[in-house]
Amino acid sequence: MRRYEAVVIGASAGGLDALKALFTGLPDDFPLPIAAVLHLHRNTKDELITLMQRDIRLTVKYAQDKEKIKKGVLYIAPPDYHLLVEDDKTFSLSVDEHVNYSRPSIDVLFESAADAFRGHIIGIILTGANKDGSMGLKRIKARGGTAIVENPRSAQFPDMPLAAISETEVDYILDVNEITCKIDELVGAL
């Protein structure tokens, strides 16, 4: 059985609702770190974290530069910063140019996490109205990780899931509530 070390998630339009639905079902003692990029306006404030923490049992916080990644925490990419995973399993933040019109970019997180965690990572693409994340998910799959995409038929905005499916031979295409069960199943095999 594969031993997973992290989960990375990307969402755009409709993503806050999808993330809350996904994480509401996870226990507060979830054994892996989770890093998520949600396309946020650069002026988004800390209320987002407070709002998410109300519905999610995991600790939710914005990732910080040079922060060591810890199990059982949901890290959100801060507004207007790319979030990257370094080889030593710490985060770094970047203000490099936008990727796919976005900063933070899902592709940036996914590609760096794929390189750091290799085949021990689960990548998830949720609802969204662009193609960000499709190349990053492809890298996760190429490095031996597991690729999960929200079912475009049930996604609030299907463009991002459809782009990911067109670029990558994904392992699972599931509704959000099914993704939670699949994560439990995959991680339960630790």
Pick the catalytic residue from 12, 105, 112, 134.
12
> What single DSSP character describes residue 69?
P
Catalytic status, residue 105: no
For residue 82, the cross-strand partners are 94
Q: Which of 82, 112, 132, 134 is catalytic?
A: 132
Active site residue 82: no
Distance CA 41, CA 37 (A): 12
> Which segments within the chain are labelled E, that is strand?
6-11, 34-38, 59-62, 73-76, 82-85, 91-94, 121-125, 146-150, 172-174
| Distance in angstroms (rounded) separating the CA atoms of residues 24 and 180 | 9
Active-site option among 39, 82, 107, 134: 39
In the residue annotation, 120 being an active-site residue is answered as: no
Residues with a known catalytic role: 12, 39, 132
